[in-house]
A and B are shown apart, each in its own frame.
Chain A
Amino acid sequence: MNLIRYQAPDPAPWLALDRWSDLRDELNSFLDMPFWSGFGRTGQLFIGWSPALDLYESGDHFVAVVELPGMRKDVIDISLHDGTLTISGERKREKSNDGETAQRTERYVGTFRRSIALPTRVDPSKVSATYQDGILEVTLPKAEEAKPKQIQVS
């Protein structure tokens, strides 16, 4: 006898949008890879879950804010390739002991990967990140040539 009623979490309005950006990322990475290498090798098509990502822009830098509750700092991987920021990692399934029964599982486990193309070039050597309260904040300073410049009229 199981009295737990199933209840789906609120459908997030960004989910549809997110799928599109995922699809776009996948298409981009598909177009980037040599055709004959196939997907089998990289295995990155429709992989894992995808955390919510916000991107902010100011005069000289971008800030990416990603919701990653309950992770360990050392399993979060941040990479920058061809102007695309990729955040990936894995949330390990906790070892279940004998006599433990999952009654409800809404939290995602497994690998995640989230990419976003940055509108302008950034300086990869100056990228920094913090992780607090389950929020990852990546600061990406713009490359010198991408910063807005004031031109003095002489």
Chain B
Amino acid sequence: MNTLTRETRESDRRQAEQFITPAASVTEIADGYTLEIEMPAVKKDGLEISVENNELAIIGLRSLPAVEGTPIHRESRPENFRRVFEIDPSIDADKISAKIDQGLVTLTLPKAEHVKPRKITVS
């Protein structure tokens, strides 16, 4: 019943050098799930979201600000982001929607109509 978006790791490993795994949070709401992924320096057009073979892949290509000067202290990593989830069959893949605001990607994954709870009237 509580199955959700499981993660696929194998495909992640293959491309581990080019991508970093961003932090993500998943919340189950009444009629679906909300997925939040932190992708600082990613703009709307740098975001690639795809669903293939029940795999939801979110790639964030970063447009890092061009800063004048020499770096004297560095903690950030310049790599692009990639995160892959296996979507639960209860999710209606055609109705997944996404938005990005200040480097935070929010995906809404609604449950398919047939899995939503419904009352059956006894006739």
Interface residues of A (CB under 8 A from B): 1-5, 7, 9-10, 12-14, 17-18, 21, 52-58, 61-63, 65, 67-72, 96-97, 99-108, 116, 119, 131-135, 137
Contact = CB atoms under 8 A, between A and B. Distances in A.
B24 A106 contact: yes
Nearest to A17: B75
Interface in B98-123: 101-104
Interface in B1-20: 1-7, 9, 20
Contacts of B63: 133
A102 B73 contact: no
Contact of B40 (A7, A21, A61, A69): A69
Contact of B76 (A54, A103, A107, A119): A54
A14 B36 contact: no
Given A14-B76, A104-B24, A137 B6 contact: no
Contacts of A5: 6-7
Listed from nearest, the 9 A-B pairs whose CB atoms lie closest are: A134-B103, A70-B104, A58-B69, A69-B103, A134-B40, A56-B69, A55-B73, A106-B23, A103-B26
Contact of A107 (B1, B3, B38, B101): B38
A106 to B, nearest CB: 4
A134 B25 contact: no
Contact of A134 (B7, B20, B41, B70): B41
Contacts of A65: 65, 67, 76
13 contacts: A3-B4, A55-B74, A70-B38, A100-B29, A106-B23, A107-B23, A107-B36, A132-B102, A133-B42, A133-B43, A133-B102, A133-B103, A137-B65
